[in-house]
């Protein structure tokens, strides 16, 4: 009986070890989106300074589109931007840009300098629509299906590899539905 009890610490160690080991692969700062599989919250964004029109949530229905949160002050957006340009050039998907907490004029200056990959750009200076979307940082991208439901959220810059491995197949599937 005594000898059997001696194995308890080893078992405890194994259980805790497996638990911690699996934890190593998880990102503790990742916040799951509440919006996934829910309809996009209703919003209507005005045009950014220097542009003629913004867009509303209603316009995102009808086909599979991306809604991309960006800002000129966001460093990672600089990294993401060239790939968004490529997507636009390939006509891969419509991308709507939510210009987040930007000083008037900065958004246009950024798009003039680096190119504009967006179908339409809306201004969210107060950041209120971003809060409705549960945005935690920029860049952040939502995949919206034909019915205007959010199907996926990417909380990091989209790279070519991520697009090929994850987003392109998902979007292909959503387009077939």
Partner 1 sequence: MRFLVPVMLLLFLGAASAAEPDELLDDPVLEERAEKIDEQLRCVVCQSQSIAESNAPLAKDLRLLVRERLVAGDTDKEVIAYVVERYGDYVLLKPPVQGNTLFLWGFPALALLAGAAGAFFFLRRPKPAPPAPLSDEEEAEVNRLLDERG
Q: Where does this chain bind partner 1 (CB under 8 A)?
A: 29, 31-34, 101, 126-128, 130-137
Closest separation in Å from C-beta 33 to partner 1:
8
| Alpha carbons 155 and 30: distance in angstroms, whole number | 8
Looking at the Cβ atoms of 18 and 165, the one nearer to partner 1 is 18
| Alpha carbons 66 and 171: distance in angstroms, whole number | 10
Looking at the Cβ atoms of 87 and 150, the one nearer to partner 1 is 150
Q: How many residues are present in the chain?
A: 177
Looking at the Cβ atoms of 6 and 161, the one nearer to partner 1 is 6
Looking at the Cβ atoms of 119 and 136, the one nearer to partner 1 is 136
Closest separation in Å from C-beta 67 to partner 1:
15
Closest separation in Å from C-beta 16 to partner 1:
13
Task: Kindly list the distances between the CA atom of residue 165 and the CA atoms of 21, 31, 169, 170, in Å, as whole numbers in the listed order.
Answer: 26, 22, 7, 9
Looking at the Cβ atoms of 65 and 135, the one nearer to partner 1 is 135
- Which structure tokens are listed for 26? 């998880």
**Measured in Å, how far apart are the chain's first and last C-alpha atoms?**
62
Closest separation in Å from C-beta 75 to partner 1:
14
Closest separation in Å from C-beta 29 to partner 1:
6
Chain mean position to CA 101: 16
User: Do 81 and 87 touch, CB atoms closer than 8 A?
Assistant: no
């Amino acid at each position: 009986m005594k000898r059997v009890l001696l194995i308890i610490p080893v078992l405890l160690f194994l259980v805790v070890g497996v638990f911690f080991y699996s934890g190593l692969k998880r990102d503790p700062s990742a916040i799951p989106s509440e919006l996934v599989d829910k309809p996009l919250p209703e919003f209507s964004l005005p045009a950014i300074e220097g542009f003629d029109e913004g867009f509303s949530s209603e316009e995102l229905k009808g086909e599979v589109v991306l809604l991309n949160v960006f800002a000129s002050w966001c460093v990672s957006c600089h990294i993401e931007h060239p790939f968004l340009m490529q997507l636009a050039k390939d006509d891969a998907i419509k991308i709507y840009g939510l210009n987040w907490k930007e000083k008037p004029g900065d958004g246009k200056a950024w798009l003039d300098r680096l190119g504009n990959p967006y179908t339409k750009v809306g201004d969210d200076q107060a950041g209120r629509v971003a809060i409705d979307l549960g945005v935690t940082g920029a860049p952040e991208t939502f995949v919206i299906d034909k019915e205007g439901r959010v199907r996926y959220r990417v909380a990091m810059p989209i790279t070519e590899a991520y697009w090929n491995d994850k987003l392109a197949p998902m979007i292909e599937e959503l387009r077939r539905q």
